[in-house]
């Protein structure tokens, strides 16, 4: 008779092998988890501070937003000169800036800038602000502007910045008074042009500190308005 012997020893060894593999897996899995966590922590350039950090794929840093009404003069001036920065208005939305020594003198944030022509007069020897004026040349009258220009003290530095519409009410008298301060462009200043100018009362010749952009539909940046104009530099003090 043929007898088939099923060995208990073989089954026992197989069971022991399965148990050993299960125990090994139970030990290895936690160890692998610990290794992965450690690698992630030390390979992450972000320092963990207890606060949640969200990293978006292909994210870019947000562009820096410049606060409104701030001066951004790049020119460095000697101590014995007066530094200035002028920015005309952008269309009829963003108001102008006039700054002295990086201090805001005229701006919408100060509630002293408006449409038309904005003016600051300085003491030419000390740089002290003497007067500030805003003259609406569309809905206002030219008389107050003429009076302001006539009363500028001899030896004063005068800074101009346009906003929205600087020319509708300008007449020949007003243009002549501004030209006497050194402007070579005020005679052609027109409807919604962008214009910045620095001149002086009692100086001779034409100022080189003047910028002007014509309102032309083909080249305008803001629909019916040209690009805003920047003007900055250093002003020698009057010796007289």
Crossing angle of helices 172-179 and 143-150, rounded to 10°: 30
**Highest mean pLDDT range out of 1-15, 30-44, 120-134, 194-208?**
120-134
Q: How confident is the model at residue 163 (pLDDT cuts 50, 70, 90)?
A: very high
Q: Please give the model's pTM, rounded to 2 decimal places.
A: 0.70
Residue 213 in this model has a pLDDT that exceeds 50: yes
Residues 100-147 have pLDDT tens digits of 999 999 999 999 999 999 999 999 999 999 999 999 999 999 999 999
Distance between CA 218 and CA 225 in Å, rounded? Answer: 11
Distance of alpha carbon 169 from alpha carbon 174, whole angstroms: 9
Q: Which helix (H) or strand (E) holds 32?
A: helix 8-43
Statement: residue 209 has pLDDT above 90: yes
Neighbours of 14 (CB within 10 A): 10
Q: Delimit the domains of the chain by residue range.
A: 9-47, 81-236
Model pLDDT, residue 139? 94
Encode pLDDT of 26-85 as tens digits.
766 666 655 554 455 444 433 333 333 333 334 344 434 444 447 888 888 998 999 999
Question: E strands along the chain, which residues?
Answer: 81-87, 97-100, 103-106, 116-123, 129-135, 156-163, 194-200, 210-213, 230-236
Gap between the terminal Cα atoms of the chain? 138
Cβ neighbours of 234 (radius 10 Å): 15
Burial (Cβ within 10 Å: 0-12, 13-18, ≥19) of residue 148: buried
């Amino acid at each position: 008779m043929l007898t088939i012997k099923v060995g208990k020893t073989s089954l026992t060894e197989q069971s022991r092998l399965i148990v050993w593999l299960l125990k090994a897996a139970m030990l290895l899995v936690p160890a692998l988890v610990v290794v992965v966590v450690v690698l992630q922590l030390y390979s992450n350039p972000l320092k963990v501070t207890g606060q949640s950090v969200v990293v978006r794929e292909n994210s870019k840093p947000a562009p820096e937003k410049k606060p409104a009404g701030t001066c951004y003069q790049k020119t460095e001036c000697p101590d014995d000169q007066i530094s200035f920065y002028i920015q005309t208005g952008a269309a009829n939305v963003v108001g102008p800036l006039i700054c002295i020594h990086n201090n805001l003198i005229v701006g919408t944030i100060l509630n002293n800038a408006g449409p038309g022509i904005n003016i600051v007069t300085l003491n030419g020897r000390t740089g002290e602000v003497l007067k500030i004026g805003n003259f609406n040349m569309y809905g206002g009258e030219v008389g107050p502007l003429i009076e302001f220009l006539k009363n500028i003290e001899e030896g004063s530095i005068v800074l101009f910045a346009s906003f929205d519409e600087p020319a509708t009410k300008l007449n020949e008298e007003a243009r002549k008074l501004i030209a006497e301060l050194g402007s070579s462009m005020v005679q052609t200043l027109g409807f919604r042009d962008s214009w910045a100018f620095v001149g002086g009362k009692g100086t001779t010749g034409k100022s080189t500190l003047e910028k002007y952009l014509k309102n032309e539909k083909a080249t305008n940046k803001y629909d019916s308005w040209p690009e805003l104009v920047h003007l900055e530099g250093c002003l020698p003090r009057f010796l007289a």
